[in-house]
Amino acid sequence: MGSFTNRGGGTFADVENNAAAPFQPLNPQDVRAYLLKAVDFISDYYSNVESMPVLPNVKPGYLRDELMASSPTYSAPFDVTMKELRASVVPGMTHWASPNFFAFFPATNSAAAIAGDLIASAMNTVGFTWQAAPAATEMELLALDWLAQLLCLPATFAGTGGGGGGGGGVILGTTSEAMLVTLVTARDSALRRSGSVGVSGLHLLTVYASDQTHSTFFKACRIAGFDPTRIRSIPTGPETNYALDPAKLLQAMNADARSGLVPTYVCATVGTTSSNAVDPLGPVAEVAAKYSAWVHVDAAYAGSACICPEFRHHLDGVELVDSISVSPHKWLLTCLDCTCLYVRRAHRLSHSMETKPEYLSNDATDSGHATDLKDMQLGVGRRFRGLKLWMVMRTYGTAKIQEHIRSDVAMAEIFERLVRADNCFEVVVPRNFALVCFRIRARGAMTEEEADEANRVLMNNLNNTGKAYIAHTVVGHRFVLRFAVGSSLQEEKHVRSAWELIKKTTSEMFMYGEREHQKFQKHGT
């Protein structure tokens, strides 16, 4: 019989041949062949990503127009799938892996992490209880212990990993989850403490964070059921380098308590998104303790730097807080998703999160010696996230991971010096870690509002070149450009090249503006 292409991408000959053989989605030969091609793709991607535009030139909905509008009925060779991936998907990607990516915070990766994630995906374990995945549970607890040791976290955060401190840890997907589970735990504790019947007193609970806290906190508060009018955003300013002021926090908590409200939760941050501000953990925790409020530390990005002794002081006072989360997928060479949450009193978290259906009962759980990580998270099912984190730490060792952190900070210092040496620009807040907040300076007759617009145009023009990608924020009511160093492929040459591009783009902007001004002066239009 001849071979004719069908609308699904395969051939009628395929259908005839496949009818004789059962479908085997894990056929060992296919597994090897497909994965070898995927590995080649990944290797080629990292070899070539530097030359790709960081931001794609595509419009919303483009992919539906390029690929089939409906799922194909019949099979196609895997090579066809890979061809479409290269032709349609890759050109539409924002390349976070590019060494020319300086936006937001980095999403680091490494060969060890990719290998760990690949193996974990292949095993596809669903580790809700210890019995369901003994090695996965043990590996997660071991990796958490290793990271806690590198961060010099106090023994009070140990427990599930065998430290016996009454605390414990769990690897979640993102910081958002860490905030949400701790908010729910703090909510339940405050309701019990205040004698509330069920959730009748929920409207009295108040939560606190600085105005620099990540927006996910306010989203998590709404999901956890807190009244939006009870969410306090404490204003910050240049006098504290935009860190949370404990005096203002105390003032807000005192005012709420006098009004009959119940201060419940404080979110402190080590490395805020806008400016990398570091809240003073000890003083904040001392204020919160006056009302038995839960203190959570969001150290998603900058916490990783604290594995280096010279940055560890940013966690001073952590022994007084109730929980802390660090995201190795940001700066510790471990691909998404991987957020490590540590709590000082694990039983409070599990009290709010646990579920005990009969179909999950087993001897290991009943013995009291096993940890069921489902009871420290929102859902029940969970991925084998601990493997990739362990593989990163085991493969590279502390010294090389510290070298990676220090190299990024050194490159950020270089960029900061370049900005400070140019009178056209200014550094808006002192650099912390590997983020530089800078902007075109308002000079001469230029107003701050005009400078804001100039910086916005600079960012857009720069990003439209495809040669670099930076993001912005607003600090002290000023439009500020954020230059975040840390992509796994970045070297000093990329930082210097980005700076030259910034200067060139700025010069072209002002030259164009001057020409337009002269044209207006000459013709009046």
Helix (H, G, I), strand (E, B), or coil: what is residue 113? helix
Where does a domain end: 44, 76, 91?
Answer: 91
- Assess if residue 128 is contained within a domain: no
Q: How far apart are CA 480 and CA 472, in angstroms?
A: 6
Q: Poorest-confidence range of 374-378, 438-442, 462-466, 520-524?
A: 520-524
Burial of residue 142 (number of CB atoms within 10 Å: 0-12, 13-18, 19+): middle
Asked, for residue 138, whether it belongs to a domain, the answer is no
Indicate whether 512 pLDDT > 80.
no
Q: Which residue has the tokens 């009943």?
A: 366
Instruction: Determine the straight-line distance between the first and last CA of the chain, rounded to whole angstroms.
Output: 74
Sorting pLDDT into bands at 50, 70 and 90, what band is 456? very high
- Summarize the confidence of residues 483-487 as an average pLDDT: 96
Structure tokens at 150: 């590198």
Residue 313 lies in a domain: no
pLDDT score recorded for residue 165: 61
What's the whole-number average pLDDT of the chain?
Answer: 91
Residue 158 pLDDT: 77
Region 426-440 average pLDDT: 96
- Domain residues for 60? 12-91
Query: Is it the case that residue 203 has pLDDT exceeding 80?
Result: yes
Residues 6+ apart with CB under 8 A from 10: 72, 74, 75, 76, 77
Question: At 19, is the pLDDT very low, low, confident or very high (cuts 50, 70, 90)?
Answer: low
The structure tokens 């590019």 sit at: 98
Is 359 a catalytic site residue? yes
Q: What is the band of 17 on the pLDDT scale with cuts at 50, 70, 90?
A: low
pLDDT of residue 357: 86
State mean pLDDT over 316-323: 97
> Of 91, 117, 145, which residue is a domain's last?
91
Which pair of tokens denotes residue 221? 């508060």
| Residue 80, in any domain of the structure | yes
Task: Say how far apart CA 226 and CA 221 lie, in whole Å.
Answer: 6
User: Does the pLDDT of residue 1 top 50, yes or no?
Assistant: no
pLDDT in the model for residue 316: 97
- 426 vs 264: CA distance, rounded Å: 40
CATH number, position 510: 3.90.1150.170
Q: Residue 104: pLDDT band by 50, 70, 90 thresholds? A: very high
Does residue 10 carry a pLDDT above 80? no
Overall domain count for the chain = 2
Of 193-197, 275-279, 406-410, 435-439, the one with minimum mean pLDDT is: 193-197
Choose among 267, 244, 242, 264: nearest CA to 253.
264
Q: 37-41, 68-72, 158-162, 324-328: which has the minimum mean pLDDT?
A: 158-162
CATH of the domain at 84: 1.20.1340.10
Q: How many CB atoms lie within 10 A of CB 55?
A: 20
Nearest to 100 by CA among 503, 419, 498, 504: 498
Q: Give pLDDT tens digits for 264-287.
A: 999 999 999 999 999 999 999 999
Amino acid residing at 99: P
Q: Is residue 450 included in any domain, yes or no? A: yes
Q: Do 180 and 216 touch, CB atoms closer than 8 A? A: no
Indicate the pairing of strand 435-440 with strand 168-172. Answer: unpaired
* 473, part of any domain: yes
Is 431 inside a domain boundary?
yes
Residue 47 belongs to some domain of the structure: yes
Give every CB contact of residue 437 below 8 A, 6+ residues apart in sequence.
Answer: 274, 275, 276, 427, 428, 429, 431, 473, 475, 480, 481, 482, 483
Final residue before a domain boundary, out of 65, 91, 117: 91
Q: pLDDT band at residue 511, thresholds of 50, 70 and 90?
A: confident
Indicate which residue of 34, 46, 359, 512 is catalytic. Answer: 359
